[in-house]
């Protein structure tokens, strides 16, 4: 269990460093702590939500079993993201500097990482749930709904935790003087939540 936790922290730190590097060295160094904190905070909240959702759907899983599953899921998520770190670092090194970068390039980079985190998280939930605990519940009618609810809970909790911690997401490109945690402070597009920020990434300003 300790080994899994250390693997999670190291992998999350590697990915956090790579995304922070696209903004500045300060953000890269901060993210050695901020992104693991983001993953651990999300995992802590989801460890309770997963158990509640399992009880809601009538799937009998012990609290300890759920905690072990959550640790495995978020460790795998961090490992998958860490595998993207070399590519993210390459983009950070080859993209224009944050001061010269076009707003569209910055938004595409943000959206790519948001989608990558969501996909890695959903894959980890699906495969770990099937392999570790739910293989003996193949005939349980609520199994698909339970796994889907776990995915949704992870995305919603992780997104909002990311907004409060903001490991460079939601920060103005090139700024290096922002506080560690910006909380509900609006970003450069005026978004006041993670979900609004994602909407701004997807929908052009001319259509809003």
Domain positions in the chain are 2-207
More confident residue, 84 or 176: 84
First-to-last alpha carbon distance for the chain, in angstroms, is 47
SS3 5: helix
Q: What does the alpha-carbon distance between residue 108 and residue 115 come to, in Å, rounded to a whole number? A: 10
Question: Model confidence over 115-129: pLDDT tens digits?
Answer: 899 999 999 998 888
Predicted TM-score of the model (pTM): 0.82
SS3 122: helix
Question: Is the CB of residue 207 less than 8 Å from the CB of residue 168?
Answer: no
Alpha helices in 57-184 (DSSP H): 63-94, 103-128, 143-165
Q: What does the alpha-carbon distance between residue 13 and residue 58 come to, in Å, rounded to a whole number? A: 37
SS3 38: helix
Tokens 């103005």 appear where?
A: 172
Sign of the Cα pseudo-torsion (47, 53, 55, 61, in order): negative
Lowest mean pLDDT among 74-83, 139-148, 178-187: 178-187
Question: Is the CB of residue 150 less than 8 Å from the CB of residue 129?
Answer: yes
Average pLDDT estimate for 10-23: 90
């Amino acid at each position: 269990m300790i080994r899994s936790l250390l693997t999670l922290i190291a992998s999350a730190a590697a990915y956090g460093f790579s995304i922070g590097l696209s903004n500045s060295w300060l953000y890269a160094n901060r993210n050695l702590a901020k992104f693991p904190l983001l993953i651990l905070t999300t995992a802590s909240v989801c460890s309770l939500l997963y158990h509640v959702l399992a009880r809601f759907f009538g799937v009998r899983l012990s609290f300890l079993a759920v905690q072990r599953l959550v640790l495995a899921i978020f460790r795998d998520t961090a490992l998958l993201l860490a595998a993207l770190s070399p590519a993210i670092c390459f983009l950070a090194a080859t993209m224009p500097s944050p001061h010269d970068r076009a707003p569209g390039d910055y938004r595409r980079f943000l959206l790519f990482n948001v989608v990558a985190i969501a996909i890695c998280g959903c894959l980890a939930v699906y495969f770990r749930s099937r392999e570790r605990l739910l293989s003996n519940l193949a005939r349980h009618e609520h199994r698909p709904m339970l796994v889907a609810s776990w995915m949704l809970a992870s995305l919603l909790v992780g997104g909002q935790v990311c907004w409060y911690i903001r490991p460079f997401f939601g920060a103005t490109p090139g700024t290096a003087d922002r506080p560690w945690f910006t909380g509900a402070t609006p970003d450069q597009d005026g978004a006041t939540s993670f979900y609004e920020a994602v909407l701004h990434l997807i929908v052009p300003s001319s259509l809003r």
